[in-house]
Structure 1
Amino acid sequence: MPVQGKHHPLVLYLAAGAFFSYILYTRLNLYLTRQRIKRENGCQPCPHHFNKDPILGIDVLRFNIRNARNKTVLESNWNRFKRFGSWTFHSRIMTMPIIVTVEPENVKTILSLKFKDYSFGARTKAFTPLLGQGIFNSDGERWAKSRHLLRPNFVREQLADLDAFERHFKLMLKWIPRDGATVDLQELFFRLTIDTATEFLFNHSTNSLRMIGQEQTLNEDVIFSKAFTFAQADVLTRTRIGFLDRFRKNKEGKEAIRICHEYVDKWVDDAVRWREESDAERKIGGEKNEERYVFIHELAKQTNDKKRIRDELMNVLLAGRDTTASLLSNMFFELSKNPNIWAKLRAEVGELDGRTPSYEELRNLKYLKWCLNESLRLHPVVPGNGRFAIRDTVLPLGGGPKGTHPLFIPRGTLVTYSPYGMHRRTDYFGNDSLEYKPERWEHLRPGWEYLPFNGGPRICLGQQYALTEASYVTCRLVQEFQKVESRDVDGIWKESLTLTACSANGTLVSLTPA
C-alpha cells in the first residue's frame, strides 16, 4: 500500500521529463524560428566584438568607467569604429548583449521603420523617480497620449513671443564683463535657460541670474535650481550602475527629487485652481481671459490629473534647459576660436541696424542658422542614445565582413547609436569633418546621418523652441560685442557628459563691447 502524501518515483520522472521536453521544444522552436528569420533576410553575423570577456563583459565595464573618469567616452567610442573599420560592432555588459552603430540606415530603422520593435528598456526605471511617466520616459500608448497632450503647446505663436528671452538676456548681460575680463558663458547660459524655461512652463521664473552671488540665501527658487541639477546628475548615476542602484541609500538624491516635485506641485495646484475658477466663471456666462499664453494653464485645460501635469512639466523642463544651454556653450566655444566666423555673423546681424530681431527675421539669418547646425553636428547635445529590442528584429546593415549585410537582432538586445560618431563620418561630411565650418551647410542637405533632435515618431517636439532661443541669444550677443576671444587654457573641447554634452572646462571667453 503506497504511503499517503508521497508520489511514486515514476510520476516524478515523468513530470521532470515533460518539463525538460517542454524546455527543449521551446528552445529548439526559438532556434529554428530565428534561423528562418536570418535566412529570409540574408543576415550575417557581426564580426567585430568589443569585449574579451564573452560572459560578463567586465573588461568593457572597466574601460567605460576609465573613459568616463578621463572624459573621453565619446572620443574613445568614435576611435573604436575607426579601428574596426566598420560602422557597427557588437559588445556585452553583464548579461546584456549590445549592438553599437553609426549607420544612418540602422538608425532610421530603429527610430522609424521598425519603431514598434523597440522600447526604452531599463532606462525607464532609472528616469522614473524624477520624471515619472512623462513624454521622454514612456512607451506605447502612454507616450502617444503625452505627445498628443503636449504637441499644441509648441506651435509657432508661442515660439514667436521673444519678450521673455529679451528680459532674461538683459539680466545675463549684466554679468558679462565689458573690460575684457574672462567670463564663463556656459554657467550664464545654464542659468539663462532654466530661467526662461521655468517662466515658459510655470508662468514663474527661477530668476537664477538675479541670484548670482546670493546662493546661500534660503530662496525656494535657488533651492529648486540646485536640487534639479543634482537630481538630473543622479539620473545618470542610476542609469550607469543599473540594478546595483537598489543597494544605494542615496538620501541626497531622494531629497533632491522631493524638493523638485514639491516645487513643481505648487505651480500645478495653482494651475488646476485657475482652471476650476475659469470653469466656474464660464458656467455663469463669463470668461476668464489670459493676457498671454501660459504653458501650465494649457495643460490644466486638458487634464486635471495633477501628477500627470507634473510629470510632463518635469520632462519638458529637463529638455528645455540643458539642450539649449549646451548648444550655446558648445557653439561659443568654437566661435571664440574663429574670429572670421564671428565677423561674418556680425555682418549678417548688422543688417538689423541694431534693433532686436523679430521671429521672422531670426529665421532669415542664414549664416546664424549654419553656425547652429554646425555646432549640433560637431558637438551634438545628445551625443548617444539607444533602444531595447522587445522582439526579434533585423537591422539593414552591420552583418558580414564589411558590415554590408543585414544583421539579426535578438529580443533583449540593447541597440545604441552615436550621433557624435555619425556626424564625424567623412563620407557624409567631408575630410574636414572634425573642423567647425558653418559654410559646409550652404549646400549640405543631410538625411538620417544628421540627427541633432532625434527622428521618427519621437522627434523632439521642442526643437524649434530651443533653436529660437539659441538664435535669439546669439543674435543679441553679436549685436552687443564686436569681438569674442577664447580664454580656454587647453584650447580643445573636452566632454562633460551628463544627459547632454557640453564643455568640461566651461566656455571661458573675453568679450569686447561693440
Structure 2
Amino acid sequence: MNAPSGTSHATAPGEERETPLFVSPLPQPPSRRYSSLGFVRASRRNGLHVWPHDAYERDWVEQRFFGRKRVLLNKPGMIHRVLVENHGNYGRTGTSIRLLRPLLGDGLLLSSGETWKHQRRTIAPALAPKMLPMLARHVAECTGEDVQALAARKGAPFHLLPAIQALALKIAARSMFSLETWEYGPAVRAELVRFFHHHGRARLLDMITPVSMPSFHDIGRARFRRRWSALLDRIIDARERVPDAHGPRDLFDLLRAARDPESGAAFDRAELRDQVATMIVAGHETTALAIFWSLYLLANVRDAQAAVAAEVRDADLSPARAGVMFDALPYTRAVVSEALRLFPPVWTISRQCIAADRVDGLSIAPGTLVLVSPWVLHRHRAHWANPDAFDPSRFLPGAPPPPRFTYLPFGSGPRVCVGAQFALAEATLVLARLIQAFDVELADSDPVRPTAAVTTSPDRAVPFRLKPRGP
C-alpha cells in the first residue's frame, strides 16, 4: 500500500489518461495485527496505521479489543445495514461521546433519540440547497479578503494549513454571525488548538471505562467545557445585540427563527449554543483540511492545477455570483471530491451494537465495536481502480458514480452530515478562487504523510509558495 510517488499527471477534461498517476506518500500498514494495547498506542500515534494490508482487501476484519469484539466493515451491504437499515441499533460509542461532548455539547452530532430527531428536523431547512446563494456570498467575501493578504506575501514560503484554517473559521463565523470584523476568531482558534492537542486524543481509560465513570482526563475536559461555553455565550450575546434585518442574513438568524415542523418548538439558549458550536467546529476544521489536501495534490500534479486554472480563469466568483457558479466548476469540484476520497477528514465512523444483529451473515453481539473507516473504504482494492492514486476523472460528469456505500466523506444514512452540500460548495469555491489568483507550489521536497487523531491532517507543517498568476 505504501507505493512511491509517481509522475505528476491526472486526467483533465477531454484528455486521454497517461500513466503513472500521482501517489502521495502514505503511512506503512503494520505487518501484523495489533493487540488491544498496541491498537490503543497506534491509534494515539496515527489512526491510519492501525489496519493491516488485508483490511484493504477483505469484506470485514474482526479483532478482539479488551475482551470485546471489534469489527471493521468494508462491504457496502453491511455498511448499509449498520448506518441505514438498522441504524437505531448502533449508537455512538462511549469514547466518541467522552471526547467530543466537551466541544460540541448535545448538538446535532452527539444527540440521540427524540432529541436528535427534533434537532435534525429543525436545522435541516436552514441548510437546504436554496440557502446556498446566501452562504456562498460569505464564502466569496472572506476568500476575496484573504486573497489580497496572500498576494502581499509575493510568493514567499509560508505554512499553508494555519492560513486555510483561519480562512475556514472566518467563513464559518461570518456564515453563522454575519459579523464583518470577527474579534473572537483568535480566541476560538486558540481554544480549538488547545482542545485537539490536550483533550482530543483517546487514551486507554477513555476506551475502557464507561462514560458515566469520569476518568482523570475528564477533569481537564470539564475545565475546557466551562471556558468554551463562556466564549460561545459571549459570541452569541454580541450577535444578539446586532439590530434585526428584514430577512435572514446568516445561519444564526435561521437557527434562531427555526421551529420544529412537528412540535413548533424552538431551540432554547443551551441548544442554540450547542448547535453554534457544532457548526463552527464541524463546519470549519474538516472543510479546511479538504481545501489543504486539494491544494497539496494540485501542487504535486501540475497539469491538474492547469486544468483547474483554465476552468476558473474567466469565472465570476464575486459574492453576487458565487452561489450560481458551483455547478459551472465540474473539474474543480472533482478535485475536491477526489481529495476527500484520498484524505477523508473524518477517518473513522464508530458505533456500538445495542442488541444482537446479523449483518450479511456476520453475527454482531451486543457491545461489539463496529467501525466503518472512510480511509480504508476509499482505498479498498475491491471498490476502486488504482485506489491510492490521485485521479479527479473518477468524479467528472459522465463517469460512473462510485457504488453506494463505498464513498463516505460525509457519512451516510439518517446521520449523514446535514451540511455536506454546503461544505462541498465552500471547498470548491475557495479552491477555485485561490487557483484563479495563484500558482501553487510546495516550498520544499520533504514527504508529506497523513496522520489521524481527530481528523486526517499532514504529519508536519508544510510550506507552500503562492505566486500571483499573470493576466
Q: Same fold (TM over 0.5)?
A: yes
Secondary structure of residue in 2 paired with 1:89: strand
Give 1:105's aligned residue. Answer: 77
Task: Identify the structure with the greater helix proportion.
Answer: 1
- Matched residues in 1 for 2:442 and 2:203: separation? 34
The CA distance in 1 between the partners of 2:380 and 2:356, in whole Å, is 29
From the superposition, tell whether residues 509 and 463 of structure 1 become closer, same or farther in structure 2 (CA, over 3 Å): same
The CA distance in 2 between the partners of 1:188 and 1:112, in whole Å, is: 37
Structure 2 counterpart of 1:422: 377
Shift of 1:136: 0.3
| 1:300 positional shift | 2.4
Match of residue 434 from structure 2: 477
Q: CA deviation at 1:361?
A: 2.0
1:334 and 2:297 aligned? yes
Give the aligned partner of residue 347 of structure 2. 383
CA 1:75/1:435 → structure 2, altered by over 3 Å: closer, same or farther? farther
Q: Displacement of 1:503 after TM fit?
A: 1.4
Q: How does 1:64-213 map to 2 (within 5 A)?
A: 64-66=40-42, 68-69=44-45, 71=46, 73-77=47-51, 79-82=53-56, 86-122=58-94, 123-161=96-134, 162-173=136-147, 174-175=149-150, 178-204=153-179, 207=182
Post-superposition CA distance 1:414-454 (Å, at most 9, x none):
10011111111233221x22111112323130121111111
> What is aligned with 1:280?
none
Partner deviation per Cα, 1:17-50 (whole Å, 9 max, x = no partner) = xxxxxxxxxxxxxxxxxxxxxxxxxxxxxxxxx8
Give the match for residue 12 of structure 2: none
Query: For residues 131 and 474 of structure 1, what CA distance do their matches in structure 2 show?
Result: 28
> Cα gap change, 1:232/1:144 in structure 2, threshold over 3 Å: closer, same or farther?
farther
Q: Give the direction of change, closer, same or farther, for the CA distance of 1:512–1:76 in structure 2 (3 Å limit).
A: same
Identity of aligned residues (%): 23
Q: Is the 8 A contact 1:370 1:438 kept in 2?
A: yes
User: Which one of 212, 222, 226 corresponds to residue 258 of structure 1?
Assistant: 226
How many residues are paired up? 420
Q: Single out whichever of 99-108 and 339-348 deviates more from structure 2.
A: 99-108
Q: TM-score, normalised by structure 2?
A: 0.81
Q: Deviations over 1:66-125 (max 9, x none)?
A: 4643x3x3144152515xx52312122224321112222211111111112111131323
Say which SS state the counterpart of residue 313 (structure 2) adopts.
helix
Q: Could you say what secondary structure the match of 2:363 adopts?
A: strand
Which one has more relative contact order, counting CA pairs under 8 Å at least 6 apart?
2
Provide the secondary structure at the position in 2 that maps to 1:92. strand
In structure 1, how many angstroms separate the alpha carbons of the residues matched to 2:65 and 2:343? 26
Contact 2:36 2:66 in 1 (8 A): no
| AA of the residue aligned to 2:306 | A
Do the aligned partners of 1:184 and 1:509 also contact (CA within 8 Å) in 2?
yes
**Structure-2 separation of matches of 1:250 and 1:177:** 44
Runs of 5+ consecutive residues of structure 2 not aligned to the other structure: 1-31, 260-265
Deviations 1:260-315 (A, max 9, x none): 211212344466788xx9xxxxxxxxxx6435423223322342511111111111
Between 367-376 and 229-238, report the one with greater CA deviation: 229-238
Alignment check: 8 A CA contact 2:290 2:345 kept = yes
- 2-structure distance, mates of 1:206, 1:239: 38
Contact 1:96-1:412 at 8 Å conserved across structures: yes
- SS for the counterpart of 2:382 is helix
What one-letter code is carried by the residue in structure 2 that aligns with 1:321?
A: H
Query: In 2 relative to 1, CA 239–456 (structure 1 residues): closer, same or farther, beyond 3 Å?
Result: farther
Which residue matches 1:300?
256
SS in 2 for 1:316: helix
Aligned-pair distance for 1:201?
1.9
Q: Give 1:360 shift.
A: 2.1
Helix, strand or coil: the match of 1:77?
Answer: coil
1:394-418 C-alpha deviation (Å, 9 max, x unpaired): 111xxxxxxxxx1000111110011
Residues 201 and 453, structure 2, Cα contact 8 Å, conserved in 1: no
Cα deviation per residue 1:209-237 (whole Å; 9 max; x = unaligned)? Answer: xxxxxxxxxx7542232113322455533
Moved more, 348-357 or 114-123: 348-357
Asked if 1:487 corresponds to 2:443, the answer is yes
Q: Deviations over 1:352-389 (max 9, x none)?
A: 27867532222121111111111111111111111111
Q: Quickly say closer, same or farther: Cα 1:203–1:500, change in 2 above 3 A.
A: same
1:372 maps to 2:336: yes
Return the letter of the residue paired with 1:294: D
Residues 179 and 186 of structure 1: is their aligned pair in 2 closer, same or farther, counting only changes over 3 Å? same
Residue number in structure 2 paired with 1:61: 37
RMSD of aligned residue pairs (Cα, Å): 2.7
Whether 2:420 is the aligned partner of 1:466: answer no
User: How far apart are residue 144 of structure 1 and its match?
Assistant: 0.7
